[in-house]
Structure 1
Amino acid sequence: MSISASFSSPGLFLTVALTAYLAFVSPWLGRRQYDRLASRRAHDPRALTRAYRLWIAEEWVWVTVLALILVLSPGIDLADVGLAKPDNLGRVAPMIAGMSGALVIGTVLLRHLARTGRAVPGQAAVAELMPRTSGERWHALAMAVTAGVCEEIVYRGLLIAFGVGVLGLGTAAAAALALVVFVAGHLYQGWKGLVVVALLGFWLTTVYLSTGSLLLPIMAHILIDVRGLVCMPAPTRKTVGHAA
């Protein structure tokens, strides 16, 4: 894909500020917020829904800033940040089909594993995010949709355009740098969780660069988060302790 983003001075200022926040503040703040949630969840029945509302609002603020950047920078086309129709679907169709099949099979197997009382691999890292009530489940669904849309548009769409248009990097190098920032944003999951995030992020980046569109990555990201947050049973305290 070809990116030729030209940022105006105000647009560049906002982009640098948002990038710095995502790279340096968000990882530290996310880890602190998750630890606070873990300490309050047992005795505060609304702790998770408040946390979800805060994170949902934060990510839509990111998109609002991106929209302002686009308004202030006429030299940036929507296609430069991935807001375009996908091309070369035939090239990525086998990859998408394989990933979709793996998600379905993995979900079935992991749900079966959870019902037997055994620890689900990787779930301990995000145990406090797992909903236990219908209200929490609806918030988790909203969080999954928000993350799929906002994180793809910002981490992949904007940051790759910034790397190419401002830092002068090649598309692959800009995508790699954006992936590092994306992975850092999930610091609260610990190193094992970061490995999984890196692999999924690499796959989503590959689909984006192959099609020139964020449509498929957004849909895949939403499905991945729905599987992890909504479709999986919440771990018991006993299971979490054993997994950790």
Structure 2
Amino acid sequence: MSAPPELPADFADFGPAQIAAALIAVFLVAGEPFVGYALHRRFEGRLRTDPLARRSFYRRLLVLEWGLSLVTLVVWLAAPGVSAAQVGLGPPRAWPGLLTGLAVLAVAVLVVVSVRALRSGALVGPPPEVVRPQVPGEPRHAEPPGQATVALLPRTRSERHLFALVGITAGICEEWLYRGFLLAVVAALAPGLPTAGLVVLAAVAFGLAHAYQGLSGVLTTGVLGGVLAAVYLQTGSLLLPVLLHAVIDLRFLLVPSSALPAAAR
């Protein structure tokens, strides 16, 4: 896997926007995990008492992701000499390599298997009479540990409509932020970093951004982030990663509410 020639080769290419670009990159790697964790825990705490908690959280996600994406877009536009191709905004220039293609196929298989498992009711918990009672002083999370993602899944028609927008937004905005923008900044800061290093960094950053899902969620999304980064770097375009990312998120719309834990509804 060779380094894509279109990435910025020198941080000076960002011109007067270099400080803003670096600060945003640091936030994506080190700040977003804490912000996301805090927001999700607050959301979980509202689920049992507020029937509009999910819709409110979806709207907040839409505002935050599009807002940050617009900020980074302005930073890129203010950076002289950085073309659209250098941040992945263009058509694919090549197909992914064999190993990357096999990794994408493996992700597709896992998506199909996970949808079948979810539709079968694998997430439905024990009946209410055997659910562990809440301990006084314990954080009021809507889901047991490891089930943070389940809390986000839509139950009603209106929630599903908003969740569809969230899924499409995640595909567009997160690929722009964590693949296009972040990797362009890193490549400009460390022009000697090999492509494999960029893939690892993208995997780590994306995994940490999902810290609210616990260790298993960090590892799973980290692997996914690495695969999407490899697809981006080998094709030179964000198009395929955006489509793959959106499909992966939107698969949850195939899960009926009856297959989800009652405690999270």
Mark the CA change 1:90 to 1:150 in structure 2 (over 3 Å): closer, same or farther: closer
User: Could you tell me whether the CA contact under 8 Å between 1:41 and 1:47 is conserved in 2?
Assistant: yes
Evaluate the alpha carbon distance shift between residue 4 and residue 33 of structure 1 in structure 2; reply closer, same or farther with a 3 A threshold.
closer
8 Å CA contact 1:81, 1:157 repeated in 2: yes
Which of 107, 112, 119 is matched with 2:115 structurally?
107
Q: Deviations over 1:161-209 (max 9, x none)?
A: 1111123323332332232111111010000111111121121112112
Deviation at 1:110, TM superposition (A): 2.9
Q: Give yes or no for contact 1:159–1:174 (8 Å, CA) kept in 2.
A: no
Q: CA deviation at 1:87?
A: 2.8
CA RMSD of aligned residues (A): 2.4
Runs of 5+ unmatched residues, structure 1: none
Instruction: Check if 1:32 corresponds to 2:32.
Output: no
Whole-angstrom distance in 1 between the partners of 2:96 and 2:208: 32
* Cα deviation, residue 84, structure 1: 1.7
Q: Which residue of 2 aligns with 1:16?
A: 22
Amino acid at match of 1:236: P
Shift in alpha-carbon separation, 1:29–1:148, aligned structure 2, 3 A: same
Instruction: Compute the displacement of 1:13 (Å).
Output: 1.6
Q: Who is 2:211 aligned against?
A: 187
Cα 1:217–1:157 change in 2 (3 A) is same
Q: Are 1:88 and 2:94 an aligned pair?
A: yes
Question: Is 1:2 the equivalent of 2:2?
Answer: no
Does residue 155 in structure 1 map to residue 178 in structure 2? yes
Contact kept? 1:11, 1:68, Cα under 8 Å: no
Give the structure 1 partner of residue 135 of structure 2. Answer: none
Question: In the TM superposition, what is the alpha-carbon distance from 1:118 to its structure 2 partner?
Answer: 6.2
SS at match of 1:24: helix
1:139 Cα deviation (Å)? 1.2
2:142: which partner in 1? none
CA distance in 1, matches of 2:254, 2:146: 12
TM-score, normalising length: structure 2: 0.80
CA-to-partner distance for each residue in 1:6-61, whole Å, 9 max, x for gaps? 53343212211211222222111111111111111111111111111111111111
Corresponding residue number in structure 2 for 1:126: 149
How far does the alpha carbon of each residue in 1:97-131 deviate from its partner, in whole angstroms, 9 at most, with x for none? 5543543344234312448x469xx9723122111
**Identical aligned residues as a percent:** 31
- Asked if 1:218 is matched to 2:239, the reply is no
- Give the corresponding residue for 1:200: 224
Which one is further off, 55-64 or 98-107?
98-107
For 2:13 and 2:75, locate their aligned partners in 1 and report how far apart those are by CA, in whole Å: 8
Instruction: Please give the TM-score of this superposition, normalised by the length of structure 1.
Output: 0.86
Runs of 5+ consecutive residues of structure 2 not aligned to the other structure: 127-144
Q: Contact 1:41/1:48 (CA < 8 Å) preserved in 2?
A: yes
SS of corresponding position for 1:126: helix
Decide which moves more: 216-225 or 37-46: 37-46
Residues 99 and 184 of structure 1: is their aligned pair in 2 closer, same or farther, counting only changes over 3 Å?
Answer: closer
Q: Within 5 Å, which residues of 2 pair with 1:55-66?
A: 55-66=61-72
The aligned length equals: 235
Find the counterpart in structure 2 of residue 166 from structure 1. Answer: 189
Q: Distance in 2 between matches of 1:225 and 1:158?
A: 21
Amino acid at match of 2:168: V
Instruction: For 2:166 and 2:182, locate their aligned partners in 1 and report how far apart those are by CA, in whole Å.
Output: 21
| Aligned equivalents of 1:103, 1:185: Cα separation in 2 | 20
2:261 paired residue number: 236
Q: Which amino acid aligns with 1:167?
A: A
Name the structure 2 match of 1:139. Answer: 162
